[in-house]
Chain A
Amino acid sequence: MEERIMYRTLLLILVLLFTVCLAGCYDLKEVDQRAYVIAMGLDKSERENQLKITYIIANPEVGSLVGGSTDEPPQETITVHSSDFITAKNTANTVVSKQLTYEMLQIMVVSEELASRKDFIRWFYDTTKDREIRRDTYLAISKEDASEYLQNNKPQLETRPHKYFQFMITRGVETGMLPDSTFHRFYEITEQDADLFLAIYTTSKPAKDPPARHEDEYMAGEVNAKGDANKTQFAGAAVFKEGVMIGKLNGQETRIASVLDETTDIKDVLSTIHDPFNKEYRLAVRILKKQNNEVTMNLEKSTPEIRIKVPLVVDVLSDRSMVDYTKDTRKREILRRQIKVDFEREYNGLIAKSQQEFKGCPFPLSLDARKYFLTIKEYKNFDWMKTYPDMDIHVTVNIFFTGFGKQTKVPNIKHMRD
């Protein structure tokens, strides 16, 4: 009995030992032996079926106190040519000493030229194959070549590249100027084949003396920013239909798409509207969305009818015409009407543009439509993407006021200037 137990124990130890020897330590790699790719740029190479791949690799020693401050640059940018970005890791090792890893990849920048090609999606879907690439990585489209873009991008304060992209994008999504364009959303929307995917639009080559517009009606590169800050601009969105870039939305349109989109969160949208009491002035407002949109559809009709009610909470921040809204219900009502009319024009404008220009919806409206179908087959037969341009869609906005600035009282100009 004793012998049997001992025999078994010895055997068990051996088996465990073999298991460990055979299976253990697979893909072990120490953190300090890797080069962390923060941003990857994709361009079409001069050679057919090849990509020009640009990497921004973070230098871990910069910004860490314990390692001792170094004079080394915070990042390293290299460009290589390869047939895909998975094997390019090895190609890059001819220049970079450590094993490249995509584990910290924050952003993939694709040039507008490549994104507009039909075969872009074939390369892009390699992101689902690589084990290291995360689905919360952002997709951005650059106006110029991605290699040029990443080369030019030199943040002054957030010198560590991952911090720069992280802050830039999360803030952009919060203000609504940038779409929430993670890889995951790309796969989701593209595979649903019903709506349009919006990707972040950016450029490092701003236009010379661009025309001045209202606060959010810019595309990246159109903001006339002077000074010695980084030249890179993030604003607006690139529109993808079935995995191909077909157009662009400016900041305002991106914001509207975000407001209409229930799957993203906007937090801090500052905008201006016409002042109802003086056509020359504009009123600053903060728009908050606290409730979900109410979507009603009638898809039985020959022209399907969709009504979207958007409840918006508005905080009026400026008052150039010096009207005391708090004491006057009538004036508040005038203001409400003005905002409503302005917003509804903008919102319906975007829908009209998407129907005519893109022939697809820039926010996932099809999600709301699904519950109107009993079977998947019915839904597929309906063919949302094809039907969308002919639909009768109307957006109405409900405005709730929360405040009129810190101090609500304004002096009477007439009395002051007498």
Chain B
Amino acid sequence: MRRKIFKRILKKIKTPTPNPPEVSSHGDIALKKQNIKETLDQNLKIFKYLYTVPDNVDVKIREITIPSLNRNAAILYIASISDVIDIEERILHPLLHHSDGSGKIENIVSAQTLKTAQKIEDIVNEVNGGVTALFVDGDRQCYLMEMQNFQSRSIGMAENEVVLKGPKESFTEKAIINISLVRKLIRDENLVAERTVISKRSNNGLFMLYVKDLVNDELLNEVKSRISKLDLAAVHSISFVEQLIEERKSSLFPTVLYTERPDRASAFLEEGHIVLMLDSSPACLIVPTTFWAHFHNPEEHYLRYPYGNFTRLLRFLALFIALFISPLYVAIANYHSGMIPPDLLLAIAATREKVPFPAIIEIIMMEFAFELIREAGLRVPSPIGPTIGIVGALILGQAAVQANIISPLVIIIVALGGLTSFAINDVNLNYTVRLMKFIFIFAAGILGVYGLTASFILCLFYMVSIKSFGVPYLAPYTPTYRSSEDIVTRKRIGSERFRPGYLKPKDSIKKGEV
């Protein structure tokens, strides 16, 4: 009987939804597998068909006659992603005005790179990436020259991970620029940037950066194998990759670090981590990570030792306040009022007397309102931004208290919880804390401090069980590994001698005793 009920529920969950009929594209795929033809006319016909010229306005085909060879030729490029002036100067001009009779294309065009290809599929892929293709009548190969010029934003300031002291640059939506920013910091021949195409349709390239003589080979293979398993049509943001390669996809805890700071990426690279970048994402992923990587902020290493540790401890405290202040209020006000000093208890009782809701409802209402202000503030167009502040602060705060809907203490508690949660810089961990808070509020509402403690211990059990690419989540704290002990507090820069042992780097000592 019991199984039957379960089976019925499972069946409901598992029933597939109907699909619309598909149109076959076998013809196109077969065509792409072929090599190019001998005559220019045939080739142009194929490529005009593939690129839907002339309907496709930014795909350009320019037919010319090369005087020195006395043969017809054509160049194919996508104008929107190519440097048109370069094409004119380095390809068209030399081809049209060259008079030397050696007859080799390599010696005529002055493009920086030049390679040849026969397969239509390869040519198409290159052209899609901004390469200019040159077809010469009678040649069974195509000349490919890199002329790409993708439009992108220039390097900007880091906006989400702000530091006072330290580099201000951040990654931008162009991988080449991003790699350049990293190479600027690590001028080492061992820094490898491998590119793999990870999507079938949009051909998005994923860059994998690592320092060859530091990174653990097993780890590298693990990351590579996870990437090779990706089966995607298109990836438009590195965040998709993040969600696809992580171990526990519905867990509250992040196991991949997302950062927009080149200095941070470099620091992790030099410890033996692996950095992943996408062609078009203004951030990178760092794998593997521990809880502490999410908790830290680059600023703490730029600040002097005491100041850096002060911020660390402050944030550590903030983490706990953000997690526990609301649940503790719920627990204490409902179950353990003896724990509150008499003055405060009477003050709470006095303000709560006129409020119609139980403490837990009050807290949840305010937490909800606070989350709403945060979300709305994030999405609101900037001209009407200030309204949010006024509405949030005045209506929800002042008026709710005066209307006896919320007791003033709850406003303080929720505001303090909200404020401290802002101190957690990492976007992922920030969400973790905010969501965990609700779990704790319910646990505290149901079982008081006992429930709160029990759920926190369960949460710790869970955290200990998580691994990120084989690395325990709370390492090097538990299990213990040799490291620079950059955990809750950090040591003096001179004493940070080791690379983290949990990464099993090829070279684990950074430097000698200072």
Contacts and interface: CB of A to CB of B under 8 A. Distances in A.
Interface of A: 3, 6-7, 10, 20, 23-25, 27-32, 34, 36, 38, 58, 60-61, 63-64, 66-67, 101, 103-104, 106, 132, 134, 160, 162-163, 166
B9 A10 contact: yes
Interface in B292-336: 333-335
Interface string B58-80: 00000000000000000000000
B408 A66 contact: yes
A67 B350 contact: yes
Nearest to A102: B338
Given A3-B10, A36-B345, A31 B408 contact: no
A307 to B, nearest CB: 43
B334 A30 contact: yes
Interface in B325-364: 333-335, 337-338, 342-343, 345-355, 358-359
A64 B351 contact: yes
A104 B10 CA distance: 53
Most buried by A among B6, B349, B407: B349
B333 A30 contact: yes
Contact of A162 (B6, B342, B350): B342
A4 to B, nearest CB: 10
Given A24-B447, A67-B353, A6 B334 contact: no
B186 interface: no
Contact of B6 (A10, A36, A58): A10
Per CB-CB distance, the 5 closest pairs between chain A and chain B, nearest first, are A32-B352, A24-B446, A103-B338, A60-B349, A60-B350
Contacts of A6: 10, 13
Contacts of B337: 29, 31, 34, 101, 103
A23 B447 contact: yes
A28 B342 CA distance: 19
A60 B353 contact: yes
Given A29-B334, A36-B349, A63-B346, 19 more contacts: A6-B10, A24-B446, A27-B335, A31-B333, A31-B334, A31-B345, A36-B342, A36-B346, A60-B346, A60-B347, A64-B346, A64-B350, A66-B350, A67-B353, A103-B338, A104-B345, A163-B342, A163-B343, A166-B342
B335 A28 contact: yes
B333 A20 contact: no
A7 B10 CA distance: 8
B-side interface mostly: helix
A64 B347 contact: yes
A371 to B, nearest CB: 37
Nearest to B442: A20
Contact of B359 (A30, A34, A36): A30
Interface in B111-170: none
25 contacts: A6-B10, A30-B352, A30-B358, A30-B359, A31-B333, A31-B334, A32-B349, A36-B345, A36-B346, A58-B346, A60-B346, A60-B347, A60-B353, A61-B350, A64-B350, A66-B407, A67-B354, A103-B338, A103-B345, A104-B346, A106-B342, A134-B338, A162-B342, A162-B343, A163-B342
B334 A67 contact: no
B351 A67 contact: yes
B338 A104 contact: yes
B8 to A, nearest CB: 12
A166 to B, nearest CB: 7
A25 B13 CA distance: 33
A36 B352 CA distance: 14
A31 B335 contact: no
A304 to B, nearest CB: 44
A7 B350 contact: no
A228 to B, nearest CB: 26
A296 B335 CA distance: 49
A20 B439 CA distance: 13
B338 A28 contact: no
Most buried by B among A32, A134, A166: A32
A31 to B, nearest CB: 5
Nearest to A162: B342
Given A7-B6, A20-B446, A24-B446, A31 B349 contact: yes
Interface in B359-382: 359
Contacts of B346: 36, 58, 60, 63-64, 104, 160, 162
Contacts of A30: 333-334, 352, 358-359
Contacts of B408: 66
Contacts of A63: 346
